[in-house]
């Protein structure tokens, strides 16, 4: 630890976001960066705890105390090597991870000002690319082949690890671009797609093969591979089966988000196929990160107004005694998209959609609900109150999560990783799942 008293004298400093009036006019990344000297000061705040809860909380087992110390001392290459020993893609997690590590930082408990671990991570990997530390490696081959279905974070992580182990890896992607959730589910203002392309270029140079526009049936896997890893995500969004669901203007969140990313990539859509919030009153149903992404996208498309409703009650602000440190705090989260303009409401259940004579949605009837603790300590019980109202909306985006995939019993050489195995989760957990699947595949094939 370079400066054992820095946490007493150096306050937490976040890079922050670009001004709202500036960022809502484009799809550039909203987050700013600190200069090198400021970043080193932030790294110096790490106390190198005897029991590093940041390491404990990270699904990847990252080692923040070690790479923070190297960063503070100006040893950028060493910091990069420590970081990438556990994380294949810090450029992704450094941008979009909710930073479970920071919520468990001892400084979060002590003064509610954890070390800026996520931002420091992003700074390290960007410096590594800038300084030329990230270079393709050539790996010897062991003569065995592995096929991976899906090129999201789990598939990419599994491919990266297996390739480094010496396997000939082919990644099959049903869509026209590589990236899965990273490419189509996350807006450019959070993750510029050039960041994905940069990493794919490295992986291709190292020998990983990508086959786009190539759907694979998990029940009928092609011959020629010694093992398979299914990383197909959670393709089925949770629907809202209430009267009026057939009305035009009601879309799943990913329909809008993926189309907007395709538009930014140069594709065109016209007529009824174009999903645009321009000039519309938008209602987002669902209070999670995907709903937040819909808000930011709607504002950039020119929505007249945006409202987000959530069936669950409003979380506590700042601190929640039900989720004490070092657990993940379930508290009210205000994202950069919320700051750009959005009305938020909680404890509302949607009961029916209403529409115009030409079959377009014009509003949603909602009912206020109450939540009471379950007697057995399980999930709280929801009770309708009978208090109903109509919310006007010209576009409704359903962002209520995804159904966990059901899998049949596969052959012994078929493995499942990421959201396909766990249900919808975090990108960092998908990367961890891909790494574990790669190790499991390696262990399996070495026994043959």
Task: Please report the pLDDT score of residue 226 as a whole number.
Answer: 98
How would you classify the pairing of strands 348-355 and 361-372?
Answer: antiparallel
Distance CA 392, CA 385 (A): 21
- Write down the H helix ranges in 218-275: 253-264
Q: Please check whether residue 398 is in contact with residue 373, taking contact to mean a CB–CB distance below 8 angstroms.
A: no
Q: Which residues of the chain have pLDDT under 70?
A: 1-2
Task: Please report the pLDDT score of residue 189 as a whole number.
Answer: 98
Task: Please report the pLDDT score of residue 253 as a whole number.
Answer: 98
Task: Please report the pLDDT score of residue 375 as a whole number.
Answer: 82
pTM value is 0.97
Model confidence over 260-310: pLDDT tens digits?
A: 999 999 999 988 899 999 999 999 999 999 999 999 999 999 999 999 999
Task: Please report the pLDDT score of residue 3 as a whole number.
Answer: 82
Task: Please report the pLDDT score of residue 272 as a whole number.
Answer: 86
Task: Please report the pLDDT score of residue 133 as a whole number.
Answer: 98
Query: Angle CA(200)–CA(23)–CA(311) in degrees, nearest 5?
Result: 85
Task: Please report the pLDDT score of residue 1 as a whole number.
Answer: 65
Cα first-last separation, the chain: 46
Distance CA 147, CA 213 (A): 15
How would you classify the pairing of strands 381-392 and 361-372?
Answer: antiparallel
């Amino acid at each position: 630890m370079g400066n054992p008293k820095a946490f007493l004298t150096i306050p937490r400093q976040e890079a922050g976001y670009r001004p709202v009036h500036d960022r809502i006019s484009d799809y550039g990344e909203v987050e700013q960066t600190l200069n090198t000297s400021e970043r080193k000061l932030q790294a110096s705040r790490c106390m190198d705890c005897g029991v590093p809860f940041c390491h404990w909380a990270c699904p990847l087992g990252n080692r923040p105390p070690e790479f923070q110390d190297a960063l503070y001392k100006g040893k950028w290459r060493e910091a990069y090597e420590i970081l990438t020993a556990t994380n294949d893609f810090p450029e992704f997690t450094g941008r979009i991870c909710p930073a479970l590590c920071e919520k468990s930082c001892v400084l979060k408990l002590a003064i509610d000002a954890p070390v800026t671990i996520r931002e420091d991570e992003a700074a390290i990997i960007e410096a590594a690319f800038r300084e030329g530390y990230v270079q393709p490696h050539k790996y010897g081959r062991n003569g065995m082949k592995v096929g991976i279905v899906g090129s999201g974070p789990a598939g990419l992580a599994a491919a990266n690890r297996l390739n480094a182990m010496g396997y000939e890896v082919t990644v099959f992607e049903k869509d026209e671009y590589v990236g899965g959730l990273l490419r189509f589910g996350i807006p450019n203002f959070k993750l510029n797609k050039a960041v994905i392309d940069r990493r794919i270029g490295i992986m291709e140079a190292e020998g990983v093969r990508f086959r786009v526009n190539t759907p694979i049936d998990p029940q009928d896997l092609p011959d020629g591979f010694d093992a398979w890893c299914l990383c197909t995500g959670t393709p089925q969004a949770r629907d809202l089966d209430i009267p009026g669901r057939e009305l035009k203007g009601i879309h799943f969140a990913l329909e809008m988000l993926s189309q907007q990313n395709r538009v930014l990539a140069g594709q065109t859509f016209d007529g009824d196929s174009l999903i645009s919030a321009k000039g519309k009153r938008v209602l987002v149903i669902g209070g999670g990160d995907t709903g937040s992404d819909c808000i930011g996208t709607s504002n950039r498309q020119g929505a007249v107004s945006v409202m987000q409703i959530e069936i669950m009650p409003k979380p506590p602000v700042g601190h929640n005694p039900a989720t004490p440190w070092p657990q993940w705090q379930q508290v009210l989260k205000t994202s950069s998209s919320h700051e750009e303009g959005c009305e938020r409401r909680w404890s509302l259940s949607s009961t029916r959609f209403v529409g115009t004579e030409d079959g377009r949605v014009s509003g949603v009837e909602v009912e206020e609900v109450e939540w009471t603790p379950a007697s057995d300590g399980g999930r709280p019980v929801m009770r309708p109150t009978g208090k109903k109202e109509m919310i006007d909306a010209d576009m409704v985006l359903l962002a209520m999560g995804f159904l966990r995939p059901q899998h049949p019993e596969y052959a012994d050489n078929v493995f499942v990783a990421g959201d396909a195995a766990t249900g919808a989760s975090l990108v960092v957990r998908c990367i961890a799942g891909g790494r574990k699947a790669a190790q499991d595949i390696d262990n399996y094939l070495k026994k043959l």
